[in-house]
A = this chain, B = another copy of it.
C-alpha cells in the first residue's frame, strides 16, 4: 500500500503544506500566491495543481490536517485522566502544539473568527471537533462535582481553547524571548483558580 510512489507523493504534499502554512500565516490567504507556495516548497507550479484541486482546496486540506493533529494530541493528553488533571493536561498539550506548529497556530488565530469565507464551514466544523474533546472533560468534571456546578460547558470549553491560543500566540509574537514554561505556568495557575469549586 505505501509503495515508493505514494510515499513520494505524500512527501510533496507535506512540503506544500509546510510552505503554504508559513506564507499564509505571515501574509494571509489572499496575499499568498500559488507561485510563492510552489517556489518555497521547491516544486513546479504544475505540481501544486497535480496534487490539489485548487488553492482553496489546498488550504482546506491544510486546515483539516493541522486541526486533526491538534485533536489527536488533545485526545492523547486526556486519556484516562480525571477531570481536573485532564484540564491541566489539555493546556499543556495546546501550548506544546502551538510551540511546535507556530505558524499554523498563528494562521488559526487569524482565520478562526472570520466570517463569509469559503472555508468558514470547514473551519467551524473542525473547531467543534477539537473543542468537543475539551468539553468531554469539562462535562465529566461538572457531573462528578470536581468542577463548579454553575460552569457552562460550551462557553468554558471554547474559552479555554481560545485563551490558550491567544496567550500563546501573543507570547510568540510579542515576547519571544520569554520561556514557554512561564506562559504555561501562568495559564495553569489561572485555570486552576477558575476551576476551584
Q: Which residues of A contact B (CB under 8 A)?
A: 25-31, 106, 109-111, 113-117, 124, 152, 154-155, 158-159, 162-163, 165-167, 169-171, 173-175, 178, 182-183, 186, 189-190, 193-194, 196
Q: Which residue of chain B is the closest to A189 with respect to CB atoms?
A: B194
Cα-based distance from A111 to B28 in the complex (angstroms): 9
Q: Which residues of B contact A152 (CB under 8 A)?
A: 182, 186
Is the Cβ of A115 less than 8 Å from the Cβ of B162? no
Is the Cβ of A106 less than 8 Å from the Cβ of B111? no
Task: Tell me whether chain A's interface is mostly helix, strand or loop, or mixed.
Answer: helix
Q: Which residue of chain B is the closest to A195 with respect to CB atoms?
A: B193
Cα-based distance from A161 to B50 in the complex (angstroms): 44
Q: Which residue of chain B is the closest to A158 with respect to CB atoms?
A: B170
Is the Cβ of B159 less than 8 Å from the Cβ of A186? yes
A95 CB, nearest partner CB in chain B, Å: 14
Contact status of A113 and B109, CB under 8 A, knowing A152-B186, A194-B193: yes
A27-B116, A113-B166 are known contacts; what are 11 more A-B pairs with Cβ within 8 Å?
A26-B114, A27-B117, A28-B117, A110-B113, A152-B182, A152-B186, A158-B174, A159-B186, A162-B166, A193-B193, A193-B194
Is the Cβ of A115 less than 8 Å from the Cβ of B163? no
Contact status of A113 and B30, CB under 8 A, knowing A152-B186, A159-B186, A175-B154: no
A-B contact pairs, 25 of them (CB 8 A): A26-B114, A26-B116, A26-B117, A28-B28, A28-B30, A29-B30, A30-B30, A31-B117, A106-B115, A110-B110, A113-B169, A113-B173, A152-B182, A152-B186, A155-B175, A155-B182, A158-B170, A159-B167, A159-B170, A162-B170, A163-B163, A163-B166, A189-B194, A190-B194, A194-B194
